[in-house]
């Protein structure tokens, strides 16, 4: 009798088959999907490569790994995106997580990179975040910027002597890799701060009483109203900060980041910007350590 | 044999895992700890708070790197960027040895972030050993591979887990990070004798041991690292220490992490069993021998 089509005969085929099984989203009740991709019973596929024991069938043993995969990744996604979770609510957030992780499973050895493609996914598949897609995009960008600010490298800051030596007309300044500039349609910084403060308070409460945590109603934080804001997400002394920027300041920084020479970057701020403002901004950016040599 | 080629001829004593909830206590109180084990992947970053904390720890303590994503058993090629960053971290920490798991977890460049069991075949042993040698040659430090806890076995397997572990480490000429809790968990899940496992491995290759807590469910046991070490695991640890010699030991506590003091006190319980092993290995005094 010929063997079933996907009974693995070697290490690579076994790993590919098991990998396919683990990455399939869980069914209702966090159970493994009962049907395989080709319509066969998943139990039949599992029995082809996993040994049963006296307590668990092949399917049940495989299901342990299927659950662990999804629980681990969704937990991670949950921890990295508290603002998005608050905007969508737990059920819609969970659906988004499954859809995103199905489309973009991890391609990195570190879970740190899991959310790197979330903004693009939300834009391309708005049904998972509707009717709050525009807000969800802003929050996804803002929360990813925090991951970058937390552990991206720092380059040597520019010294006064280096700036003095350079030809101002040709000088190109870099922006630290851990600084992310965001032009957003919603003031998500204050919203995410409020969500984190609420969650921290709930965590403190849960230390006092587990029962209180499980029964207490979650205080709802009103979603922000549309209002354009310009924000730099950055770090100082390895602590995360969000800094609101005036629009011309944002435009100058964005031009520097894009590699424009200094005069052109300053011009990007617009005609209304005064030399005094520019001087003040650059003094502050230097103080914050944002300006560095270009790579 | 506390010091051997597989742990860089060190005698490190009892360590605990460096975990975020304990950072503030460690950095402010500077408690006496033999060594810390770090999860390499948490520090394979460009900068920021993780590396700042690591550098402060390195000023005061000995650190050993433990990884979770080299996936020696995956048929994928090892990610060069991963290895490059790992080597930079090895230079930073000066870890005398580096450990990771005898498992797989990625296929065609997609990662599960799990420690998946291998089929115990000669093909898998050969491929895995080749990858361990490649990583060791690149990183230029001794490697210890850790046995994982598992919940599934494969029809393809041709030998027991301990025979497979032995075949891999002999072919790779590397060390073993013997996770005693994982042996116990797998023994209960697969119905083998954990003492037979311990007696079947090459003791001279054990460079480090892990102990941890687990959680019992109705039909299986999960390796959860969220409890104190349970008595059957301590008994296995006592046996392992007698058989392999007193070896650098680390307590893993990764979930529902209690205070630093509680974790450290739990780890130091290993001293009781180490003393027992030392007493058993000493020759009896002359008058006792005469009696």
Nearest beta carbon to residue B49 from set A55, A177, A238: A238
- Would the pLDDT of A270 be above 50? yes
Hey, what are A289's tokens? 């350590």
Residue A33 lies in a domain: yes
My answer on whether A33 and A67 are in the same domain is yes
Q: Are residues A271 and A177 in the same domain?
A: yes
Full residue range of the structural domain in which residue A34 is found: 11-144
**Coil, helix or strand at residue A273:** coil
Q: Is the pLDDT of residue A211 over 80?
A: no
Rg of chain A, C-alpha, whole Å:
25
**Does residue A88 lie in a domain region?**
yes
Residue A67 pLDDT greater than 80, yes or no: yes
Q: Is B105 helix (H, G, I), strand (E, B) or coil?
A: strand
**Segment B85-114, tens digit of pLDDT:** 999 999 999 999 999 999 999 999 999 999
The answer to whether residues A68 and A163 belong to one domain is: no
Encode A35-68: b = buried (16+ Cβ within 10 Å), e = exposed. ebeeeeebbebbbbbbeebeebebbbbbbbbbeb
In this structure, the answer to whether residues A110 and A167 fall within a common structural domain is no
Nearest to B144, CA basis, from B2, B5, B237: B5
Do A157 and A282 lie in one domain? The reply is yes
For the segment A144-157, what is each residue's pLDDT rounded down to a tens digit? 999 999 999 999 99
Give the pLDDT confidence score for residue A209 in this predicted structure: 44
pLDDT of residue B203: 97
pLDDT recorded at residue A294: 83
Q: Residue A205: its pLDDT value, please?
A: 66
Query: Are A169 and A93 members of one domain?
Result: no
- Domain end among A125, A144, A163: A144
Q: How many structural domains are present in chain B?
A: 1
Q: Note whether residue A279 is domain-resident.
A: yes
The residues, any chain, with a CB within 8 Å of residue B229's CB and separated by 6 or more, are B181, B211, B212, B213, B237, B251, B266, B269
Task: With respect to residue A192, please indicate whether it lies within any of the assigned structural domains.
Answer: no
Predicted pLDDT at A199? 87
Average pLDDT along chain B, 291 residues, taken 10 residues at a time: 85 96 97 98 97 97 98 96 97 98 97 98 98 98 98 98 98 98 98 98 98 94 94 97 95 95 97 86 59 40
pLDDT at B225: 93
Q: Which two tokens stand for residue A126?
A: 């708005």
Q: Which residue has the tokens 């984190």?
A: A196
Cis amide linkage into residue B43, ω under 30° from 0: no
Same domain for A88 and A112? Answer: yes
Same domain, A103 and A170: no
Per-chain mean pLDDT for chain A = 92
For B68, name the nearest residue in chain A, comparing CA atoms only: A109
Q: Is A222 a domain residue?
A: no
Residue B117: Cβ-neighbour burial (10 angstroms; 0-12, 13-18, 19+): buried
* pLDDT value for A215: 46
pLDDT at A5: 59
Which tokens sit at A188? 């998500």
Residue B171, domain CATH: 3.20.20.150
Answer yes or no: is pLDDT of A208 > 80.
no
pLDDT recorded at residue A213: 43
Q: What's the structural domain count of chain A? A: 2
Q: What is the mean pLDDT of residues A128-132?
A: 98
User: Is residue A67 assigned to a domain?
Assistant: yes
How long a stretch of residues is chain B?
291
Q: In 10 A of CB A222, how many CB atoms? A: 7
Mutate one of A3, A4, A11 to test the B interface: name it (highest B CB count within 10 A).
A11
Cross-chain CB nearest to B123 (options A10, A48, A108): A10
Same domain, A101 and A183: no
* B136 CA: distance to closest CA in chain A (Å): 18
Q: What is the pLDDT of residue B1?
A: 47
Inter-chain residue contact A19 with B107, CB threshold 8 Å = yes
Q: Please give the Cα distance from B28 to B22 (Å, whole number).
A: 10
What is the radius of gyration, based on Cα positions, of chain B? 19
Q: Is the pLDDT of residue A2 over 80?
A: no
Domain of B121 in residue numbering reads as 5-290
DSSP 8-class letter at B43: G
φ, ψ of residue A113 to 5 degrees: the values are -90, 5
Other beta carbons within 10 angstroms of residue A165's beta carbon come to 9
Q: Establish, for the pair of chains A and B, how many residue pairs have beta carbons separated by less than 8 Å.
A: 125
Q: Is the dihedral of CA B42, B44, B46, B51 positive or negative?
A: positive
d(CA A122, CA A140): 8
Q: Which of A22-26, A233-237, A250-254, A291-295 has the lowest mean pLDDT?
A: A291-295
Q: CA of A291 to nearest chain B CA: how many angstroms apart? A: 16
- Residue the block writes with tokens 């393809």: B156
Same domain, A53 and A127: yes
A103 with A76, same domain?
yes
Task: Yes or no: say if A43 and A21 are a contact pair by the CB < 8 Å rule.
Answer: no
Distances (CA, A) of B105 to A16, A69, B109, B113, B125: 10, 11, 10, 6, 16
User: Is A41 domain-assigned?
Assistant: yes
- Give the range among A138-142, A286-290, B1-5, B227-231 with minimum mean pLDDT: B1-5
Taking residue A189's Cβ as centre, other Cβ atoms within 10 Å add up to 21
d(CA A127, CA B112) in angstroms, rounded, equals: 26
Q: pLDDT confidence of A206, banded at 50, 70, 90?
A: low
Q: Are B35 and B7 in contact (CB under 8 A)?
A: no
Instruction: Characterize the bridge pairing of strands B98-101 and B143-146.
Output: parallel
CB-nearest to B111 from A10, A106, A239 is A106
Please say whether the beta carbons of B65 and B95 come within 8 A.
yes
Residue B130 CB neighbours (<10 A): 13
Mutate to test the interface with A, among B156, B168, B214, B216 (most CBs of A within 10 A): B156
Q: How far is CA A135 from CA A128, A180, A247, B224, B241, in A?
A: 13, 18, 20, 37, 58
The last residue of one of the domains, among A117, A144, A171, is A144
What ipTM, to 2 d.p.? Answer: 0.94
Residues A106 and A177 in one domain: no
Q: What percent of chain A has pLDDT over 90?
A: 83
Would you state the pLDDT for residue B192? 98
3-state helix, strand, coil in chain B (%, to 5): 45, 20, 35
Interface test with A, best of B112, B126, B192, B218 (most A CBs within 10 A): B112
The answer to the question of residue A196 being in a domain is: no
Strand runs labelled E in B95-169: 98-101, 104-107, 110-116, 143-146, 153-154
Asked if B141 contacts A50 with a C-beta cutoff of 8 angstroms, the reply is no
CB hemisphere CA count around B27 (13 angstroms):
14
Distance (Å, whole) CA A238 – CA A236: 5
Q: What is the dihedral of CA A246, A252, A253, A256, to 10 degrees?
A: 180
């Amino acid at each position: 009798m010929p063997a079933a089509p996907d009974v693995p005969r070697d290490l690579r085929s076994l790993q590919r088959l098991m990998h396919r099984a683990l990455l399939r989203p869980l069914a209702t009740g966090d159970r493994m999907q009962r049907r395989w991709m080709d319509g066969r019973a998943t139990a039949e596929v599992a029995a082809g490569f996993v040994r049963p024991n006296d307590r668990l069938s092949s399917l049940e043993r495989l299901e342990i790994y299927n659950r662990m995969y999804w629980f681990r990744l969704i937990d991670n996604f949950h921890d990295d995106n508290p603002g998005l979770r608050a905007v969508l609510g737990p059920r819609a957030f969970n659906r988004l997580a499954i859809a995103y992780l199905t489309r973009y499973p991890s391609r990195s050895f570190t879970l740190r990179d899991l959310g790197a493609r979330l903004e693009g996914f939300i834009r391309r598949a708005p049904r998972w975040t509707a009717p709050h897609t525009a807000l969800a995009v802003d929050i996804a960008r803002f929360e990813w910027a925090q991951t970058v600010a937390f552990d991206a490298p720092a380059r040597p800051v520019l010294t006064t002597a280096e700036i003095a030596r350079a030809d101002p007309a040709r000088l190109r300044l870099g922006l630290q890799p851990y600084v992310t500039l965001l032009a957003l349609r919603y003031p998500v910084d204050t919203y995410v701060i409020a969500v984190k403060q609420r969650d921290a308070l709930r965590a403190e409460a849960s230390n006092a009483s587990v029962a209180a945590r499980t029964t207490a109603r979650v205080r709802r934080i009103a979603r922000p109203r549309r209002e354009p804001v310009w924000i730099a997400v950055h770090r100082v002394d390895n602590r995360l900060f969000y800094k609101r920027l005036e629009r011309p300041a944002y435009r100058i920084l964005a031009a520097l980041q894009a590699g424009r020479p200094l005069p052109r970057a300053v011009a990007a701020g617009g005609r209304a910007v005064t030399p005094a403002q520019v001087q003040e901004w650059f003094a502050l950016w230097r103080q914050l350590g944002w300006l560095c040599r270009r790579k | 044999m506390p010091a051997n080629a597989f742990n860089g001829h060190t005698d490190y004593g009892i360590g605990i895992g460096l975990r975020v909830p304990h950072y503030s206590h460690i950095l402010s109180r500077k408690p006496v700890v033999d060594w810390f084990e770090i999860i390499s992947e948490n520090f394979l970053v460009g900068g920021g708070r993780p590396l700042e904390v690591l550098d402060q720890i390195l000023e005061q303590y000995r650190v050993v790197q433990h990884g979770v994503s080299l996936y020696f058993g995956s048929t994928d090629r090892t990610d060069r960027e991963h290895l490059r960053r790992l080597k930079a971290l090895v230079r930073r920490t000066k870890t005398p040895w580096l450990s990771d798991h005898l498992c797989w977890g990625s296929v065609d460049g997609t990662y599960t972030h799990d420690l998946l069991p291998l089929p115990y075949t000669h093909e898998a042993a050969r491929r895995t050993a080749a990858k361990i040698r490649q990583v060791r040659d690149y990183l230029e430090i001794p490697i210890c591979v850790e046995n994982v806890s598992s919940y599934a076995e494969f029809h393809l397997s041709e030998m027991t887990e301990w025979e497979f572990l032995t075949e891999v480490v002999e072919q790779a000429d590397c060390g073993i990070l013997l996770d005693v809790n994982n042996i116990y968990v797998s023994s209960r899940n697969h119905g083998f004798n954990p003492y037979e496992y311990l007696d079947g491995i090459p003791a001279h290759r054990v460079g480090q041991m892990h102990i941890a807590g687990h959680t019992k469910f109705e039909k299986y046991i999960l390796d959860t690292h969220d409890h104190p070490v349970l008595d059957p695991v301590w008994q296995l640890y006592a046996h392992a220490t007698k058989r392999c010699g007193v070896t650098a030991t680390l307590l893993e506590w990764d979930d529902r992490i209690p205070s630093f003091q509680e974790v450290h006190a739990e780890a130091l319980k290993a001293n009781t069993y180490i003393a027992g092993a030392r007493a058993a290995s000493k020759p009896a005094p002359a008058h006792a021998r005469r009696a």
